[in-house]
Amino acid sequence: MTKRVRVILDGVEAVARLHEDAAPQTVARFWAALPIEAVLRHVRWSGEAGYILISQLADKTQLLENAISFYPPGSIAFRAEHGETAFSYGQAQARDHAHVATWACHLGTLENNIDAFLAKVAATQSEGGKPMRLVREEER
């Protein structure tokens, strides 16, 4: 059965399919950490995306699975070294503090209510951080 996560951002909900076949270890760790509550903030140097930090998932030794550098809109990318989970609404790329391109795990892809959800992510650039909650899809 495909694992899905319900993502609630400032009252707007979307569901994302996790890429368990391509990133089994990362998905397992992420799934075990749910539910997660955090504040989504706009990225600083990675382009059009918002991110949350999940400190319990930060691990500099974790194997990189399903590697991507550019984040397609509607994608969820995870960088284990920081526990950073990014939600891309446009052109975005994994970058470090020196603006150097790097890699992330393509953890999941949004499947529904994409436009409304991504508009909320984009709004963090001008409005600041917004509350986010992630739960397993079967939970409400």
Whether residue 96 is contained in a domain is answered as yes
- Which range of residues forms the domain containing residue 102? 28-134
Q: pLDDT digit string (tens) for 42-53?
A: 998 889 999 999
The HSE-up count of residue 46 (CA atoms within 13 Å, CB side) is 29
Residue 121 confidence (pLDDT) above 90: yes
Element (H, E) at 116: helix 114-127
In a domain, 16, yes or no: no
Question: Could you read off the pLDDT of 6-36 as tens digits, one per residue?
Answer: 999 999 999 999 999 999 999 999 999 999 9
Question: pLDDT, tens digit, for every residue of 72-102?
Answer: 999 999 999 989 999 999 999 998 777 788 8
pLDDT for 140 beyond 50: no
Q: What is the pTM of this model?
A: 0.93
Structure confidence at residue 139 as a pLDDT band (50, 70, 90): low
C-alpha dihedral over 18, 131, 118, 49, to 10 degrees?
A: -80
Q: Which CATH number is 120's domain given?
A: 2.40.100.20
pLDDT of residue 112: 94
Residue 4 forms part of a structural domain:
no
Look at residue 7 in the predicted model and tell me its pLDDT: 98
Report CA Rg, the chain: 13
